[in-house]
Amino acid sequence: MTKSCDRKGRQKLFFLHLGTTASCCKAYSEPLTAYTDLAQLTAHWNQEKNQLDQGTEIASCNVCWKQEAQGHQSYRKTATATEKTELGDHIELFMDNTCNQMCSYCSPKFSSTWQNNIAEHGMFSGVGRSVNENFKIISNTTDHQYWIDQIHQYIQQQPAHTITVKLLGGEPLMQIKQLEKLVEFNNDRIKKLQITTNLNPPNNKFLTWLLDHVPANRLMFDISLDATPEFNHVPRAGFDQHKFLANLELIQKYQVPHRFLSVVSVLNIFDLANFSNWVKLNQYEVVWGVLNNPACLDARLMPTQFKQQIDSTGLPDLLQDILQPTKISVDIKLFEQYNYLKEYFRRTHINPAQTSNRLFGEYWNWLTERFT
């Protein structure tokens, strides 16, 4: 039986700051040092694609095999007919972890603010091993510039208007020096320059430059936002509402396509009704995601008594599923959640008792009384 995947080899991920690479966003990553150049790496991915076409379940795709074995729709099966036509060559670049925010579910791998905090204050206590594994600071000796040059050469060799370049981080809008080479990529080979951003950099110099120099129809912004702007400072420490709204207005002024990416966790689920209304009122596009790590912040762990108080009217199916009552005992995970959040609030100077969301305050009081 065929195991073919339309994404294999087309979606190329380069975690340059970690020294790793992957053939799609679900595939297992491997060290860049295993390959002499990008030609050798792409040949390896093409070989894997041929193995899939012949029905072989290759190890790097185990995430999909596990999902399919459990009867779920795997990532390889979700590509629509339109996506299969438009996918093309998709290069995703994580340049470094420079970022001014310390989001509740992030880590030193993707936030320099987290890295500095862990270096100064150490790991969390009272949490599972996987949490502190994620907090480890990675030492990377990969030749960063060499692989940027390799990617640049690869793009130059492709037909016109066939490449999508996606910039991630950290916060790409803070990495202007790192991205000078990538700005040169905006030639006739590139059909889309896609940027995943918190839209909250310390200054918007690079954002303004992009808007002035890259045609709007070749730009796309994926904006990370987990709740309505006024409440977003709780799940996303370092958030500046005024800067965010000013930058959002700037993108809209230039008529650049954009959408919101929202990761659903125990810190924003109490505001989802407001967020959903805000999105609908402004006719924004939003893509919802379920938090995978740290697992203790999964909103599904919340007791039914709190889920029932959240207005789920008109919410997407994914959110409806998260709000379903649960009968399982999750005290160990809730204990880990309490320890994680207590430490997160302490390090980010957030007072959970003074948030604007009444139900979240009640939940935090319940959690505190239960485990102190």
| Fold exhibited by the domain 88-371 | TIM Barrel (3.20.20)
Q: Which two tokens stand for residue 178?
A: 């790192």
**Angle (nearest 5°) at CA 239 between 233 and 240:** 115
Residue 328 has pLDDT above 70, yes or no: no
Share of the chain above pLDDT 70, in %: 94
Query: Distance between alpha carbon 306 and the CA centroid of its chain, in Å?
Result: 27
218 has pLDDT over 60: yes
The number of beta carbons lying within 10 Å of the beta carbon of residue 41 is 21
Rounded Cα distance between 299 and 315, Å, is 15
Q: What is the mean pLDDT of residues 145-165?
A: 88
d(CA 40, CA 43): 5
Q: What is the DSSP letter of 228?
A: -
- Could you tell me the pLDDT band of residue 196, with boundaries at 50, 70 and 90? very high
Prediction pTM value? 0.90
